[in-house]
């Protein structure tokens, strides 16, 4: 009996060793490595709004390959579009990988100065909801690009959008929104700018000059909308649109219970903070932070958090996700971050507790996005 018991115990340990050999080794417990399931709430599988065609089947198939290789059970597609294109995108997703992609809709801003804009946008939202869209994504062009009939930039908190935010609340549609951009993009794009390498590749991302609002003004507009629409759920992407100042983000989270955040493409920025303080932030707001990567799929390429010249492989994508797991799951110091073009510096990992990781990777997305399982 004792001999059989010993053999059984040895068999269990052998099984654990075998399974763990096929699992990512960066987690802080074996159970964590075996159980990690992730919903990536910030991806772009469909072409960005304005593209004439629906998502390519090649992009969807590659997305599935990368999901399967990295423990991503679902991806939220933030660039689903509207109307027929949204319908086509959803059909392609369901044809290739039923249930794996979560489509979001976007607003048609081409007639933003039409007196009937708000009415049309609300009708489009209702149609998108009927088709199966689970949320709305607003891009940074609102506040930085779109102009009124007099050539003046339209504010994010412009009253014409109030009926849209209200309608989202009525439909139970959460709003993912991007306001402003990194602080460095509002400073002179000169060699002493810490993100000069990125701005050289993307000069259109410079918002320095009197023709643009200040970053502080854009953040104020953001808070105005949050306060005016407490019945609507909002997710401020890119770490609440202010990764440079987690204390500011904390203050908005405290003031606005309808506000949540994702981490897309900002590990390089938040990883510069004191890791102990940042870990405390994640623990305190563990019910309101969602995992996002900002991976983008093209028919013949992928972008890993930021567009860069050259081709990216599936192995590159695995390294990209593994760096995220390492940052959130270990206590590594002076590690590389996932988007090196965003800054030539190292970051410190924050070693989140397993129960916080479960909410961050999975449970918060399931709660905030309607219909997720």
- pLDDT confidence of 12, banded at 50, 70, 90? very low
Euclidean distance between CA atoms 152 and 105, whole angstroms? 26
**324 three-state secondary structure:** helix
Position 10 pLDDT exceeds 50: no
Rounded to two decimals, the pTM is: 0.90
Position 86 pLDDT exceeds 70: yes
Sequence-distant (6+) residues with CB within 8 A of 282 are 289, 350, 352, 356, 360
- C-alpha atoms less than 13 angstroms from C-alpha of 318 in its C-beta half-sphere: 10
**Exposure b/e, 37-76, CB count within 10 A at least 16 = b:** ebbbbbbbbbbebeeeebbbeebbebbbebbeebbbbbbb
Q: Which two tokens stand for residue 303?
A: 């972008």
**pLDDT, tens only, 104-117:** 999 999 999 999 99
Task: State how far Cα 29 lies from the chain centre.
Answer: 26
The predicted structure's pLDDT at residue 91: 96
Query: CA 206, 208, 213, 216 torsion: positive or negative?
Result: positive
**Exposure b/e, 312-340, CB count within 10 A at least 16 = b:** beeeebeebbebbbbbbbbebeeebbbbb
The predicted structure's pLDDT at residue 18: 32
- pLDDT confidence of 55, banded at 50, 70, 90? confident
Alpha helices in the chain (DSSP H): 2-21, 30-35, 57-70, 83-96, 117-131, 141-144, 162-171, 196-201, 215-228, 237-240, 246-255, 267-270, 275-284, 314-329, 354-358, 364-368
Position 34 pLDDT exceeds 60: no
The predicted structure's pLDDT at residue 32: 52
Q: Is the domain defined by 26-368 classed in CATH 3.20.20.140? A: yes
Average pLDDT over residues 271-300: 98
Q: Where are the domains of the chain?
A: 26-368
Taking alpha carbons only, the member of 256, 253, 183, 260 closest to residue 215 is 183
For residue 364, what are the CA distances in angstroms to 41, 155, 168, 292, 373? 10, 30, 19, 12, 11
Position 22 pLDDT exceeds 90: no
Q: In what order do the strands lie in the sheet with 302-304?
A: 289-290, 259-262, 234-236, 175-177, 135-138, 101-105, 72-77, 38-44, 295-297, 302-304
Euclidean distance between CA atoms 59 and 88, whole angstroms? 14
**pLDDT, tens only, 96-106:** 999 999 999 99
Average pLDDT over residues 24-42: 66
Euclidean distance between CA atoms 143 and 141, whole angstroms? 6
């Amino acid at each position: 009996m004792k001999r059989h018991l010993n053999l059984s115990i040895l068999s269990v340990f052998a099984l654990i060793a075998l399974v763990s050999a096929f699992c990512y080794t960066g987690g802080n417990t074996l159970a964590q490595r075996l159980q990690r399931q992730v919903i990536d709430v910030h991806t772009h599988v469909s072409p960005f709004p304005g593209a004439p065609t629906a998502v390519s089947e090649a992009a969807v198939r590659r997305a599935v390959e990368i999901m399967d290789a990295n423990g991503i059970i679902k991806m939220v597609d933030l660039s689903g579009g509207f109307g027929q294109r949204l319908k086509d995108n959803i059909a392609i997703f369901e044809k290739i990988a039923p249930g794996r992609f979560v489509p979001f809709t976007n607003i048609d801003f081409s007639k933003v100065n039409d007196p009937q804009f708000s009415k049309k946008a609300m009708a489009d939202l209702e149609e998108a909801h009927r088709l199966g869209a689970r949320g709305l994504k607003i891009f940074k062009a609102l506040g930085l690009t779109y102009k009124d009939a007099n050539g003046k930039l339209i504010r994010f908190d412009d009253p014409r959008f109030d009926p849209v935010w209200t309608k989202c609340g009525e439909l139970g549609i959460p709003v993912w929104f991007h306001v402003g951009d990194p602080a460095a993009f509002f400073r002179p794009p000169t060699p002493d700018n810490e993100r000069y390498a990125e701005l050289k590749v993307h000069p259109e991302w410079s918002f320095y000059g009197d023709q643009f609002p200040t970053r502080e003004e854009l953040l104020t507009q953001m808070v105005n909308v949050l306060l005016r629409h407490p019945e609507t759920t909002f997710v401020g992407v890119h770490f609440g649109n202010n990764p440079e100042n987690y204390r500011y983000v904390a203050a908005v989270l405290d003031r606005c219970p309808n506000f949540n955040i994702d981490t897309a493409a900002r590990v390089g920025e938040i990883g510069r903070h004191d890791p102990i303080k940042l870990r405390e932030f994640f623990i305190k707001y563990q019910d309101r932070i969602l995992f996002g990567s900002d991976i983008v799929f093209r028919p013949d390429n992928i972008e890993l958090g930021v567009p860069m010249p050259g081709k990216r492989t599936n192995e590159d994508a695995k390294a990209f996700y593994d760096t995220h797991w390492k940052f959130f799951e270990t206590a590594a110091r002076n590690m590389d971050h996932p988007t090196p073009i965003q800054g030539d510096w190292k970051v410190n990992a924050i070693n989140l507790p397993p129960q916080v990781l479960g909410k961050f990777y999975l449970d918060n997305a399931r709660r905030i996005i309607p219909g997720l399982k």
